[in-house]
């Protein structure tokens, strides 16, 4: 059995693919896997680290602007897309997958388009409340659109092919209770707040977090772990901000890291999470049942993060703040108020948990197996 995965760009696209691949590897121990990425930093780091082969093709998103510069850019994008389709065909003809899976990113379009035309069973997973351009474009040709939100079906060419599965969450997010996770991290006493704004960092939010860290360094109100994103350069930029505030060292209750590599463990230990509203992150928050303050990125196509965040807010599972007009002091005061109100914090957790799907990988693999059986792909496997 051979499985081809296409994903790239963000952890929200890559981690669900890794979760599904891991579950498939349990079902088919002798299966072969190949990942196709768009040569982004994250897929080149995460996919090989998980033990899978990765090949990259160059594919880029279209500009939504109508300027002459954007038009020229889009012409080059289309030229690259034709090459990406040709490269995808070469990968598929060489690997001969039994099934192709896309979990997000522009690279899914050429891979799934070629696979569908070859008659290979194809599925795409959409983790956002409103599907992106790639999902909309391939929704008429893939065999299944696997969705995290019921709202996805209304935006697809073949709503009858949309199946609600939730978004996969890696098993390490679900192994430990909060108390067990805190003991493993050596955290005692004060409540823990965890903050992160994306793997590449967010300049404006990190600027606010410098104020947040300064205030908490003085008050000691909470244990706090912050991931700056952007690697060591991102962390050093944060430390430079803090030094400019006359904060030349961090107290024991403050921890600033470039990334949180053990994110499952740290989020399991958290009493409060401050973050963006990427679909994969929300899947992790709801599966864990953690209280959160969400600040959707204003720079995401179709304002997807705001739509994701509002779904959780409507369920009473999160507090949503807009980046415009937000300050580090306001964010800090919001966190302190929530942490002091344990009843409200528990309500946020309980309501978030109602939207959580802890077996999305199993559900998705069930759809894959059913599709393979329908297409005759399990015969002799």
| CATH label of the domain that carries residue 100 | 3.40.50.2000
Q: Are residues 238 and 316 in the same domain?
A: yes
CA 332 – CA 188 distance, rounded (Å): 21
Q: For residues 99 and 377, is the Cβ–Cβ distance under 8 A? A: yes
Residue 127 counted as domain residue: yes
Q: Are residues 150 and 181 in the same domain?
A: no
Q: Are residues 139 and 195 in the same domain?
A: no
Residue 380 counted as domain residue: no
Number of compact structural domains in the chain? 2
Label residue 379 by pLDDT band (50, 70, 90).
Answer: low
Q: Are residues 308 and 243 in the same domain?
A: yes
State how far the alpha carbon of 18 is from the alpha carbons of 31, 126, 170, in Å.
14, 15, 8
Rounded mean pLDDT, 237-265: 92
Q: Are residues 105 and 148 in the same domain?
A: yes
The pLDDT > 70 percentage for the chain reads: 96
Residue 61 is given by DSSP the state: P
Question: Which of 95, 329, 306 is closest to 212 using CA atoms?
Answer: 329
Per-residue model confidence (pLDDT) at position 42: 83
Residue 59 is given by DSSP the state: -
Q: Are residues 219 and 150 in the same domain?
A: no
The pLDDT > 90 percentage for the chain reads: 73
How many CB atoms neighbour CB 234 within 10 A?
A: 22
Q: What end-to-end distance do the CA atoms of the chain give, in Å?
A: 6
Rounded mean pLDDT, 170-176: 83
- 3-class DSSP assignment, residue 55: strand
Ramachandran angles phi, psi of 44, nearest 5° = -70, -20
The pLDDT tens digits of the residues spanning 312-327 come to 999 999 999 999 999 9
Residue 379 counted as domain residue: no
Q: Are residues 7 and 91 in the same domain?
A: yes
What's this model's pTM, rounded to 2 decimal places?
Answer: 0.81
Q: Are residues 133 and 47 in the same domain?
A: yes
For the chain, helix, strand, coil in percent to 5 are 50, 15, 35
Residue 381 counted as domain residue: no
Q: Are residues 160 and 207 in the same domain?
A: no
Long-range pairs of 10-13 with CB within 8 A, sequence gap ≥ 24: 10/42, 10/104, 10/105, 10/199, 10/278, 10/280, 11/42, 11/46, 11/199, 11/278, 11/280, 12/104, 12/127, 12/278, 12/279, 12/280, 12/281, 13/103, 13/104, 13/105, 13/280
The pLDDT tens digits of the residues spanning 71-127 come to 776 677 677 788 899 999 999 999 999 999 999 889 999 999 999 999 999 999 999
- Print the domain residue range for 260: 172-354
Ramachandran angles phi, psi of 235, nearest 5° = -65, -45
Rounded mean pLDDT, 131-146: 93
Q: Which residues contact 127 (CB under 8 A, 6 or more apart)?
A: 12, 16, 103, 104, 148, 167, 279, 280, 283
Per-residue model confidence (pLDDT) at position 276: 95
């Amino acid at each position: 059995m051979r499985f081809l995965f296409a994903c790239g760009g963000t952890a929200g696209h890559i981690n669900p693919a890794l979760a599904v691949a891991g579950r498939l590897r349990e079902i088919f121990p002798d299966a072969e896997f190949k990942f196709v990425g768009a040569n982004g930093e994250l897929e080149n780091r995460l996919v090989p680290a998980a033990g899978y082969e990765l090949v990259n093709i160059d594919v880029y998103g279209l500009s939504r602007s109508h300027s002459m510069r954007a038009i020229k850019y889009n012409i080059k994008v289309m030229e690259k897309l034709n090459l990406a389709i040709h490269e995808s065909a070469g990968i598929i003809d060489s690997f001969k997958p039994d099934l192709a899976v896309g979990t997000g990113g522009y690279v899914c379009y050429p891979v799934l388009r070629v696979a569908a035309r070859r008659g290979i069973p194809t599925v795409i997973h959409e983790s956002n409340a409103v599907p992106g351009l790639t999902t909309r474009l391939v929704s008429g040709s893939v065999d299944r659109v696997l969705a995290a939100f019921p709202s996805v079906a209304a935006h697809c060419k073949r709503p009858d092919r949309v199946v609600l599965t939730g978004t996969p969450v890696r098993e390490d997010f679900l192994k430990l209770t909060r108390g067990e996770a805190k003991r493993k991290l050596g955290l005692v006493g004060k409540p823990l707040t965890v903050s992160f704004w994306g793997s590449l960092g967010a300049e404006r939010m990190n600027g606010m977090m410098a104020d947040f860290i300064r205030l908490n360094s003085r008050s000691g109100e909470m244990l706090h772990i912050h991931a700056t994103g952007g690697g060591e350069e991102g962390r050093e930029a944060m430390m430079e901000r803090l030094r400019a505030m006359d904060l030349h060292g961090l107290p024991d209750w403050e921890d600033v890291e470039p990334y949180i590599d053990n994110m499952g463990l740290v989020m399991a230990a958290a009493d409060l999470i401050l973050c963006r509203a990427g679909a994969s992150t929300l899947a992790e928050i709801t599966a864990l049942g953690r209280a959160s303050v969400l600040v959707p990125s204003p720079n995401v196509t179709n304002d997807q993060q705001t739509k994701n965040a509002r779904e959780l807010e409507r369920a009473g599972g999160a507090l949503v703040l807009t980046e415009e007009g937000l300050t580090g002091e306001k964010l800090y005061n919001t966190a302190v108020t929530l942490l002091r109100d344990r009843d409200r914090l528990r309500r946020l957790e309980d309501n978030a948990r109602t939207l959580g799907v802890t077996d999305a990988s199993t559900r998705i693999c069930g759809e894959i197996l059913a599709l393979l059986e329908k297409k005759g792909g399990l015969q002799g496997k």
